[in-house]
Amino acid sequence: MNLPNITLISYGYFGKDLLEKTAEAVILEFQCSVNLIEGHLDLSEYYDPARRQYNGNSMLKLVDSLSFPDSLKILGLFDVDLFIPILTFIFGQAFLGGRTGIASLYRLSNERYGMIRDDRLLLDRFCKEVIHELGHTFGLKHCQNPICVMRSSTYVEDIDQKNQHLCHNCRAELELLLE
């Protein structure tokens, strides 16, 4: 059986290690192959000076317009602060049951909250966000299980409460959706 391919395309500075480890987590969770590539883009046209943030809706559309014919899913990875018009910020978003999602590292680091830098925790949070958004692209909705990666998280502390994996129910649903 050919493994499905997922493209993770990064825009900004992440550190090589973080992206590779994130890709490993994605491979493990979705039993897929991952195409990790570096994208180059002037993000200034997505910047909203009034909010001093980047428009997540436009960036999602941008990533969706990219052509990766061999990839089942594409996730854009950013290091800037994302918003959507109705919300003050987002960690990421995706087309439910679609092909594309985006996730940002920006609000995941401890330093933003006055806490001590913790690279391991940052990686853990980022992996969860990436897997969560990819889960949406596969058609998975938010899950009530408190430790499932598909649990909705609106604060980083919420992300820390869940683990990196799909719960039994979401795993079963994913298998059904992939059939």
Partner 1 sequence: MAKKISILIVDDEESVRDSLYNWFLEDGFRVAYAENASKALTILESDQFDIILADIKMPGMDGLEMLRRIKALKPDSIVIVMTAFATVDTAVKALKDGAYDYVTKPFDPDDLTHLIRNATKQISLADENESLRKKVSSLENVEDLIGNSVAMKNVLREIESVAQTNSSVIITGESGTGKELVARAIHANSPRKFFPFVSVHCGALTESLLESELFGHEKGAFTGAMYNRKGRFEMADSGSIFLDEIATISTKMQVELLRVLESKTFMRVGGNKEISSDFRVICATNKDLKSMVEKGTFREDLFYRLNVVNIQIPPLRDRKDDIPLLVTYFIKKYCTSMNKPTAAIDPAALKRLQEFNFPGNIRELENMIERAIVVGNGKRIALKDLPLEKSFVSSSTESLDDFEKAFVLQILNKYNWNISRTAKALKVDRVTLYNKIKKYDLKLADQHG
Element (DSSP H or E) covering residue 5: strand 5-11
133 is catalytic: yes
- Residue 84: CB atoms within 10 A of its CB come to 16
Tokens, residue 152 = 């909705």
List the catalytic residue out of 29, 45, 129, 133.
133
User: What is the binding site for partner 1 (CB under 8 A)?
Assistant: 31, 57, 83-90, 93-96, 107, 111-115, 136, 141-142, 144-147, 152, 154-155, 157-158, 161, 168
Closest CB to partner 1 among residues 37, 172:
172
Cβ 144 to partner 1, closest distance in Å? Answer: 6
Q: How far is CA 3 from CA 9, 32, 80, 83, in A?
A: 19, 5, 31, 33
The residues with which 101 forms a beta bridge, in sequence order, are: 75, 94
Local structure of 37: helix, strand or coil: strand
Closest CB to partner 1 among residues 17, 105:
105
Cβ 6 to partner 1, closest distance in Å? Answer: 17
Q: Hey, CA dihedral for 64, 67, 69, 73, is it positive or negative? A: negative
Closest CB to partner 1 among residues 40, 117:
117
Cβ 8 to partner 1, closest distance in Å? Answer: 20
Residues labelled catalytic: 133
